[in-house]
Structure 1
Amino acid sequence: MIRTIFRRMLAVISCWFITISYTCAQPTVSLTIDACYQLAERNYPLVKQYALLDKTKEYSLTNASKGYLPQINVGGQASYQSDVTQIPISLPNIDIPLISKDQYKLYGEVSQPLTDLFTVRHQKDLIEANNAVEEQKIEVELYKLRERINQFYFGILLIDAQIAQTEILKRDIRSGIDKNDVAIANGIALKTSSNVLQAELLKANQRTIELKATRKGYADMLSLFVNLPVDENTILEKPYTVSLATEIKRPELKLLETQKKTFDVHHKLIDTKMLPRFNLFFQGGYGRPALNMLNNNFDLYYIGGVRLTWNISSFYTQKQEKQLLHLNQNALEVQKETFLFNTNLALKQQNSEISKLEELIQTDQEIVRLRKNVKLSAQNQLAYGTATTNDYLTYINAEDQAKQNLIVHEIQLLMVQYNFKTTSGN
């Protein structure tokens, strides 16, 4: 008998150590909402676009820089013409060669742009400006993640608070069961009266199961965004109440300003197209005839100097191109005004919601205080048989509903405040 008892004690102690070891092996992870913002932006697949943009800009700038280098052209021509230049005189003892009507030319030319250096510089500025626009577009998309993080984060906080309140409800039911058992023992309550409380306890257990299942769904979605395991061991810290700044600092505004800079560069490029172009050149070739038109044999030749080209037709479209840029700039201003209007409208609505929730919370707190007093009185009455189990359940359910309303309104207030912060960009 002693051995059997000793073995059972050893088994219990072993199980206890295993439980403690398992509990210690499950580390508690704590997350803040700001950390979730940062992790979501860092792990979102779109962030890989930054590296692609950097490479694209690097290659584009390298190609544009090649405009500073000498330009090399190779050409050739074979032609037949109906007539050639002839000297219409005949001199004794002088043989004047006749130029062939089939002529051939193969040449290579090296030219060094001089005034095109301004165009190359503006092209590089445009590449930088366009790259900045694309990067800011990514910033705008990443910023939108905050709205989704708010939804998941505060959804989990609300469920955690509801689970905690449900545990309080269970504790009150168990307390009622204990009080009712005293009344049954004293013969002032029926034994079947405890069944009502037991059934209500089972309903509370069902609510906990449902809440935990819903929490898991939110946690799984949040886990995908932050790329970290979020489970029942993960504690989401309740954010502090934030100060509400009405100044709008959204990345969309910076995007519009960045797009404006591209128009400034386009203006410079339009003006640059109006300028005459000078370049140094050297051309060498082989053909028939060469530079000496009186020599009908194949020969080498070269020529070098300074070349001027001026595309006068640029004047035809300069005014219209600048007007188009001006219209696009005006369209950006309209987009900015529309964005600010809609954002301010959303902020006003959220501010009204905040004021409403603050008033509701004050009322909820008073209701909870009153319901709690009624419940405590009913507990004492239950032990003395002056209150039925149905009466007691009515009181504790009323208090539970009041506390649930308070919890919902408190979490909703925090969520609206952080939505306000997200909407304003602060």
Structure 2
Amino acid sequence: MIRIIKNIVFRQSVVVISCWLITTNNIYGQSSQSLNLDVCYQLAENNYPLVKQYALLDKTREYSLTNASKGYLPQINVGGQASYQSDVTQIPISLPNIDIPSISKDQYKLYGEVSQPLTDLFTVKHQKELIHANSAVEEQKVEVELYKLKERINQFYFGILLIDAQLTQAETLKKDIRSGMNKNDVAIANGIALKSSSDILRAELLKADQRTIELKAMRKGYADMLSLFINRPVKENTILEKPYRAASLMTKINRPELKLFETQKSTFDVQSKLIDTKALPRFSLFFQGGYGRPGLNMLNNNFDLYYIGGARLTWNISSFYTQKQEKQLLNLSQNALEVQKETFVFNTNLTLKQQDSEIAKLEELIQTDQDIVRLRESVKLSAQNQLAYGTTTTNDYLTYINAEDQAKQNLIIHEIQLLMAQYNFKTTSGN
């Protein structure tokens, strides 16, 4: 009867524990999340405050284009004048029985004029082109600044990956120490090892625990900084996906700075058109109507309405004085921009050469690391078996597992450094 009761209690306990494990796994699955590098790039760009500049630039361009378009509309002027002059036009003859009126020396005029520029229509067109070009330059400057975020995201992302790999290796080291403790306990039980040797292994285990604490603190610091950039929580259980190692890297430069140089160059073309337009004669149609004394009839000394309509030509020939110098200044600016572009390409290629050399070095180190790890692991396993039979000391065993741990640490560091170097290369080249 007692045995039956124990079986029932045991089965109920198994059911309860199973339900608890299922619930825990579900909760963990819902709370954990994964991130990859491309998602972090996109989230960082969307969250960076500078991205708000796009909306401001759109509004600025919209208002500037609206103002420039007003140049297509007729120009309206209203004016007035009151004057007194020392003399007026008189007819120097007198005829009998004919009264020739004289014009008053005080004269008044109030008028309005509507003019429709014709030549300025081309100027307005070029002004709108310049507005679009300048707006494209400012937007591309924002693109350049946002692209620089990739370098900072790379530092945080690969820093976390490196720490995660080191944490995994720390757990492997602890497992080896515990395995050695078990072997050593057998040797102590058989009287072929001292009890103090067990304390040495326990102290080393505590040292490994301290290392885990330090690594977790470092990971939290990197995770907090990455979280600020992407505006998404990066917790202890957040999984950062390890990027694939690139098989080949493109050396062609495709950076947003190159597009910025091109958009800046387009503004010079529009400015050159505006310089040419300034030297053109100005044609316009006009209509003027007013009220004053005298009107258009100079022989009528009464207030009268009048109007005038026609075509007008004005030509500011003095613009030719500075046209040549303005073109030369524009050419100097273009040459300076070309020098900046060449300097950027040169420095970028120099950086790519250095990064390519770093990648080649890390690939060779990894091959050597893998051989060292295999050898160190073989020595450790041999020492682990010897520990149970008392043919090796705990200090020797710790020396072997620490040597293996160091070899694995070097392999981990070089593998993550290689990944980071490859993605830094891609970021530098813009591919």
Tell whether 2:330 aligns with 1:325: yes
Aligned match of 2:138: 134
Q: CA deviation at 1:105?
A: 1.5
Aligned match of 2:108: 104
CA spacing shift, 1:16–1:99, aligned 2, 3 Å: farther
Residue 330 of structure 2 aligns to which amino acid in structure 1?
L
Deviations 1:82-102 (A, max 9, x none): 332223333333333332332
Tell whether 2:50 aligns with 1:61: no
Aligned match of 1:391: 396
1:46 to 42, 45, 50: 50
Aligned match of 2:363: 358
Residue 52 of structure 1 aligns to which amino acid in structure 2?
L
The separation in 1 between residues aligned to 2:291 and 2:241, in whole angstroms, is: 82
CA spacing shift, 1:350–1:231, aligned 2, 3 Å: same
Please give the TM-score of this superposition, normalised by the length of structure 1.
0.95
Greater displacement, 288-297 / 389-398:
288-297
Tell whether 2:407 aligns with 1:405: no
Greater displacement, 66-75 / 319-328:
66-75
1:335 to 337, 340, 349: 340
2:76 to 72, 78, 82: 72
The separation in 2 between residues aligned to 1:19 and 1:105, in whole angstroms, is: 98
Residue 359 of structure 2 aligns to which amino acid in structure 1?
I
Q: CA deviation at 1:6?
A: 8.9
SS at match of 1:96: coil
Q: CA deviation at 1:9?
A: 9.2
Greater displacement, 213-222 / 225-234:
225-234
Size of the aligned set, in residue pairs, is: 425
CA spacing shift, 1:376–1:303, aligned 2, 3 Å: same
Aligned match of 1:114: 118
The separation in 2 between residues aligned to 1:164 and 1:12, in whole angstroms, is: 31
Tell whether 2:209 aligns with 1:205: yes
The separation in 2 between residues aligned to 1:216 and 1:50, in whole angstroms, is: 33
Q: CA deviation at 1:8?
A: 11
Q: CA deviation at 1:7?
A: 9.1
Aligned match of 1:378: 383
SS at match of 1:76: strand
2:243 to 231, 239, 242: 239
Aligned match of 1:296: 301
Tell whether 2:180 aligns with 1:179: no
The separation in 2 between residues aligned to 1:133 and 1:386, in whole angstroms, is: 75
Equivalent runs, 1:155-194 vs 2, <5 Å: 155-194=159-198
Tell whether 2:26 aligns with 1:24: yes
Residue 107 of structure 2 aligns to which amino acid in structure 1?
Q
Tell whether 2:322 aligns with 1:278: no
Q: CA deviation at 1:210?
A: 1.0
Residue 219 of structure 1 aligns to which amino acid in structure 2?
A
Residue 235 of structure 1 aligns to which amino acid in structure 2?
I
Q: CA deviation at 1:225?
A: 1.6
SS at match of 1:303: strand
Q: What residue ranges of structure 2 are gaps of 5+ in the alignment? A: none
Q: CA deviation at 1:65?
A: 1.4
Residue 55 of structure 1 aligns to which amino acid in structure 2?
K
RMSD: 2.0
The separation in 2 between residues aligned to 1:115 and 1:305, in whole angstroms, is: 16
Tell whether 2:152 aligns with 1:148: yes
The separation in 1 between residues aligned to 2:208 and 2:25, in whole angstroms, is: 26
SS at match of 1:110: strand
CA spacing shift, 1:43–1:67, aligned 2, 3 Å: same
Q: CA deviation at 1:361?
A: 1.0
The separation in 1 between residues aligned to 2:393 and 2:85, in whole angstroms, is: 121
Greater displacement, 284-293 / 387-396:
284-293
The separation in 2 between residues aligned to 1:100 and 1:206, in whole angstroms, is: 108
Residue 100 of structure 1 aligns to which amino acid in structure 2?
S
The separation in 2 between residues aligned to 1:132 and 1:183, in whole angstroms, is: 77
The separation in 1 between residues aligned to 2:225 and 2:294, in whole angstroms, is: 79
Residue 383 of structure 1 aligns to which amino acid in structure 2?
A
The separation in 1 between residues aligned to 2:76 and 2:21, in whole angstroms, is: 80
SS at match of 1:94: coil
Deviations 1:241-275 (A, max 9, x none): 12211111111011001111111111111111111
- Of all paired residues, the percent bearing the same amino acid is 82
Residue 240 of structure 2 aligns to which amino acid in structure 1?
L
The separation in 2 between residues aligned to 1:18 and 1:44, in whole angstroms, is: 42
Aligned match of 1:82: 86
CA spacing shift, 1:91–1:31, aligned 2, 3 Å: same
Q: CA deviation at 1:5?
A: 12
1:264 to 269, 272, 278: 269
Residue 378 of structure 2 aligns to which amino acid in structure 1?
N
Aligned match of 2:258: 253
Greater displacement, 50-59 / 397-406:
50-59
Residue 33 of structure 1 aligns to which amino acid in structure 2?
L
Residue 252 of structure 1 aligns to which amino acid in structure 2?
E
Residue 180 of structure 2 aligns to which amino acid in structure 1?
G
SS at match of 1:275: coil
Q: CA deviation at 1:10?
A: 7.1
Deviations 1:326-347 (A, max 9, x none): 0000001100110011001101
The separation in 2 between residues aligned to 1:4 and 1:371, in whole angstroms, is: 50
